[in-house]
Structure 1
Amino acid sequence: MRANKMTKIYNEIVKFGNGFGSLMDAIPNPDTVLRKSGSTYAGYRDLLYDAHLWSCIQSRKSGTLSTQYELVGANSQFITEVFNKLDIQQLAEDILDSLLYGFQPIEIYWKNEGDFTIPYKAVSKPQELFYIDSEGKLRYKPNGQAKGVKLPEMKFLDIRNKPSHSAPYGTALLSKCYWPIKFKNGGIRFWVNFMERYGMPLLIGKYSRGASKAESERLAEELAGMTEDSVIVTPNDIEISMEEPHRYSSVRLYSEMIKLSNSEVSKAILSQTLTTEVSSGSKAAAETHYKIRNEIIRSDMRLVESAINTLIGYIVKLNFGHTDGTQFRYITEQENLHTKLDRDLKIQRFGGITFSSDYWIKQYGYSREDLD
């Protein structure tokens, strides 16, 4: 009796598709922004035309893409030769796109080369062509077909950013940038209209009493043309003056709205604002922001490492029939320092070479007081 009761703890109660109204086995994307705005992933891609957002994305990606990597394990030499023919840098950048859209399918193209089957290309595919089924698996949705197609094993990399039961399609950072950028673009349009209307000085023409209506209308036309030609010819009894508009409060309002929108985008992509909007601040604040940036970069590195290690598993399994411990990993600055220190200590101990104080100061940041 007790055994029968205990078996219930091994069964899944709340299954992956529960809580979502699904059609033909497809779990709808619960992304609130896409649903309420009526937008699509193409709308998310349009956001990338925003210069500030693009700058933030490049800043975040560069932290990972500028870091060297290494391959360790039994088949590391074989994997190195394969990766030399594959654009790993572009693959890593495509993997990081999952941060922006929530998930990123990447198709692997294979070919036979001698006795081996190796990937020669990895191409990211549009999110609109895929959906998640009730088992949490990625499916391809060909045009005109109601039901999706199961993907062959080892054909796709299914990368998702922080997926969960309530967010099966992952967490899209662009969803947090959608409204700030929309509001900013609207504000810029209003600002341009404002400048067209109030940015130019107001030209005032004064006639003496008794001027006819035709003369007044002609002067108005001449003043309108003066805004482009800056030249006008009038009788000496006509007075023309310029008056500057005083609407600085409205200008500040538009400027502050754009600044606030950019700040929200910075926080969404970088989790802070200092690196893109720095003007002044304390050293402690800068160090805090630097620490946050490093934590974000390390998180991104883990995402790329996990995806590429999945690809390595495919390669090893197809060619050797098993998956060994070959690993792709980024070499962080701290790891580089430890490796260099270990090397220098071995050289000094076993090579009979003694490094000077200047060397230790230059390479490891010691001071004279530390070495005396």
Structure 2
Amino acid sequence: MNRKGIWVSPNQFVEFADNARQNLTAEIASRDHSPDFNALGQYLPNPDPVLKKMGRDIAVYRDLRADAHVGGCIRRRKAAVKALEWRIEQGNATARVTKRIDAIFQRLDLDHLRAEAMEAALYGYQPLEVMWTKAAGFADGWNVPERVVAKPPEWFLFDPESRLRFRSKDRLFDGELLPERKFLLPRQDASYVNPYGIADLSMCFWPATFKRGGLKFWVVFTEKYGTPWLVGKTPRGTPKTETDRLLDQLEAMVQDAVAVIPDDSSVDIVGDAARTSSSSIYQDLLMYCRSEISIALLGQNQTTEANANRASATAGLEVTREIRDSDVTMIEQAMNELIRWIVEINSDGEAPTFKLFEQAEIDDTQAKRDDILSRTGVKFTKSYYMRSYDLRDDDLEVVAPPSSPTSPQGGAANGAAFSESGTRSGCPCCSGVEFSDGQNPSATDALDQAVTAEMDQWQAVLAPMVDPLQKLIDEAIQNGETADQLLSRLPDLLTPQASAALQAQLTRQNFIARLAAASGLQIDVPQ
């Protein structure tokens, strides 16, 4: 017996192979064994570089939203997500569970919930407390979320195991561990090193701070150097009291533009053209800070700056759309976790999924084309409508086809009848069509004979138009005329009488086609 191991006690022998297998499942690189001194305490501090530098909590970022440019970018980013439509996709779940989840989400204020979940992109993480209640609309009394409320992120922290904890009055330092299925936690780019996520407002802090400072100094600069200087001149040896009195008069003149000075004194207005170029330094600083804020929140600055062209603005919109898709993924993960909680509490099996999507713009040209084709008798399938117009399966209802337009006696419904001689009365497409047996024909026979009669009449209608056209083409070839010369002579061939006959024939043919389509009949058209 060749076993490699060690006797840990007189009765227990441990093989080395067992230790090797245990090393595969055990966590080696953990916070307990690492030299990270930030993880030695009972909670993990937020590793945000701005917060660490200032020694403040995440509430400092809330003041940045008062800035006009920061607030505008936040509204634009949220609006891109709130403009999307939502639906519950069944997937592997049952139809009953999917229908109930859809009813539950219809009761929630999803627009407000999406806006609050988007705060995770600004602060890195956003705890959402779920308020559960018994559903009154379900017979079996499901436990469903009545409200989902966003709570201030600075009230929470993470422990060394990356679990969310609440800073209560009793446990202000290390926080209370939260119960399961109570708090949703959307986070942006959270990791093992940083469970708090990446806060986009962190990238806006210094640009917004310098923007405020630069604007303040720009206002002071404008007040000091925006107006021309007034320089008073007095004779040498003037007493100081007289000089101070003149200075007070000049200071008042700045406000009132009126001053009284001795006749031996003078006042000059001095301007400095160099100050104009100096003021552009503040403007450049403010524009740079604006661009940095736009890049931090929107990923680009092409759609917010005046020097952008159409190509750069279009490319900037693509970047903004990609950031929107990232925000959508974060929100969908939180909503899908809520759906899994609902199913786990109240039912068994798979859970449906929450999906945000952009409503595709329906092509008006395609809709008009489909309407025209449907009027001529073309029948589209259910899958075609779902694919072309982005419809769901429950958006369409299959309706039974209409009954045959013929009466039980073989006559036509809708009041259409045949005379005793076998001629259809009251029907423009069948006028002049006679039936040899003298009996009321079926609708199929009537339409067959009407089509045959129409084809014969087409020859009489087209002959006065085709024969002169052929003659005109032959003459043009013999005379060597160009195609433009030939086209300029074509309108002369269409006389009013020929156009009227063609219009009447097209009206009759359209009536036959629509009647056949409404009746569900198929008629072989003679070639």
Instruction: Give the equivalent residue in structure 1 for 2:294.
Output: 266
Are residue 251 (structure 1) and residue 272 (structure 2) matched? no
Alignment of structure 1 residues 46-195 onto 2, 5 Å: 46-73=63-90, 74=95, 75-114=97-136, 115-145=141-171, 146-195=173-222
Question: How has the CA–CA distance of structure 1 residues 237 and 97 changed in structure 2, closer, same or farther, with 3 Å as cutoff?
Answer: same
Paired residues in the alignment total 353
Partner of 1:360: none
C-alpha distance in 2, partners of 1:79/1:13? 42
Where does structure 1 differ by over 6 angstroms across 4 or more consecutive aligned residues?
344-347
- Pairwise CA distance, 1:346: 11
Structure 1 pair 346–107 and aligned structure 2 pair: CA distance change class (3 A): farther
Letter in structure 1 aligned against 2:26? N
- Using the size of structure 2 for normalisation, the TM-score is 0.61
Secondary structure at the counterpart of residue 303 of structure 2: helix
2:26 match = 11
Q: 1:214 aligns with which of 241, 248, 252?
A: 241
Contact 1:20 1:28 in 2 (8 A): no
Q: Percent of aligned pairs with the same residue?
A: 35
Distance 1:21 1:350, change over 3 A: farther
Q: 2:235 & 2:47 partners in 1: Cα distance?
A: 70
Query: Which region of structure 1 is more displaced relative to structure 2, 103-112 or 206-215?
Result: 206-215
**3-state DSSP class of the match of 1:119?**
strand
Displacement of 1:118: 2.2
Q: Is residue 38 of structure 2 the alignment partner of residue 21 of structure 1?
A: yes
Q: TM-score normalised to the size of structure 1? A: 0.84
Q: How large is the RMSD of aligned CA atoms in angstroms?
A: 3.1
In structure 2, what is the Cα distance between the partners aligned to 1:291 and 1:351?
A: 42
Deviation at 1:194, TM superposition (A): 1.8
Structure 1: distance between partners of 2:366 and 2:164: 45
Alignment of 1:232-251 (within 5 A): 232-245=259-272, 246-251=274-279
1:184–1:119 CA distance, 2 compared to 1 (3 A): same
Contact 1:16 1:165 in 2 (8 A): no
- Per-residue CA shift, 1:175-224, capped at 9, x if unaligned? 11111112222222222222222222211222345643322211110111
Verify the 8 A CA contact 2:302 2:308 in the aligned structure 1: no
Alpha-carbon distance between aligned partners in 2 of 1:210 and 1:260, rounded to the nearest angstrom: 52
Q: Deviations over 1:294-345 (max 9, x none)?
A: 2111111111111111112222333x233633221112255x669x989x97
Asked if the contact 1:313/1:323 (under 8 Å) is kept, the reply is no
Gapped runs of 5+ residues in structure 1? 356-362, 365-372
**Relative CO higher for 1 or 2, CA cutoff 8 Å, sep ≥ 6?**
1
Structure 1 pair 20–76 and aligned structure 2 pair: CA distance change class (3 A): farther
- Give me the whole-angstrom Cα distance separating, in 2, the residues matched to 1:48 and 1:185: 13
Per the TM alignment, residue 143 of structure 1 is displaced from its structure 2 partner at its CA by 2.7
Change in Cα spacing, 1:168 to 1:200, as seen in structure 2 (3 Å) is: same
Equivalent residues in 2 for 1:323-362, closer than 5 Å:
324-333=350-359, 352=377
On the 8 A contact 1:111/1:117 being kept in 2, the answer is yes
Shift of 1:27: 1.3
Structure 2 unmatched ranges of 5 or more:
1-15, 381-387, 390-527
